[in-house]
Chains A and B, each alone.
Chain A
Amino acid sequence: MNEIFEINETEHGGVPVVAVTGEIDVATAPQLRDRLLAQTAAGKSTIIVDLLGVTFLDSTALGVMVGGLKRCRESGGDLRLLIVEPRILKVFEITGLTDVFSISASLDDTNGATR
């Protein structure tokens, strides 16, 4: 039903980048949660979640990312987001999560600039 959902993992300056494509909803969010948990279990305290290819996300997806952020911060790290699509950014804005996450528009901005 959600044919284009995909998760790819790379690295940027030694930081894992979890790039998601497609719709993150109640059906697909558990896959993202599992990838984030695996990164934490592998000892990664800072993770970048690339949402540039995401076309839809719901509160389940937000919950997964908030959970990931808590785990990263407990380990002294951070969970940073890449977002450019206004529709996706709007979901973070209306839930007040733009004040919680470091959000950048590109990988090159993730070291310093945040929204």
Chain B
Amino acid sequence: MSGAPDDSGDLIELSIPVRADLVVLARLTAATVASRAGFGVEDIEDLRLAVEELCLSLVQNNESGRLHLTYLREDDVIQISCAFEREADQHSDGVSTSDDDDLSLRILDALVDEHGRDVRDGQLCAWLRKRRARVRNDG
């Protein structure tokens, strides 16, 4: 993991092998980044689940390769990108087509402001953006 706060926000990078027991690292990092950015408990929990779904949407049909996650905070927005790097002899495109994937999309739709998938440098990438909820001041 690397990264340092600067004037443009915080950039954190995390690279993990595609292993079921390591996806927890992606959500732990999301929770830490969101907490540092002043997100509330509810938003942190939303982001924890959302980043899990982001990873699952790429790895469900794969048991090898790596996930490269980037956590970028800019003002009150956190953007998380997850790129799937195949191994040289791996043919799967990383896109899952199961019922679980439909559930993943519904969860992402509900929990984040924007999400999507694209191909960057030949790697399938899923991303999300979540804006920090404004604190209500009823007094």
List the interface of chain A (C-beta within 8 A of B): 1-2, 23, 25-27, 56, 58-60, 62-63, 66, 87, 91, 94-96
Contact = CB atoms under 8 A, between A and B. Distances in A.
B52 A95 contact: no
Interface residues of B, number: 24
B53 interface: yes
Nearest to B49: A58
A59 B53 contact: yes
B24 A59 contact: no
Nearest to B99: A63
B21 A62 contact: no
Contacts, number: 55
B130 interface: no
A109 B6 CA distance: 54
B34 interface: no
A56 B103 contact: no
B23 A27 contact: yes
B107 A95 contact: yes
A95 B103 contact: yes
A56 B49 CA distance: 8
A88 B107 CA distance: 12
B20, B25, B56, B109 interface centre (most CB from chain A within 10 Å): B20
B23 A25 contact: yes
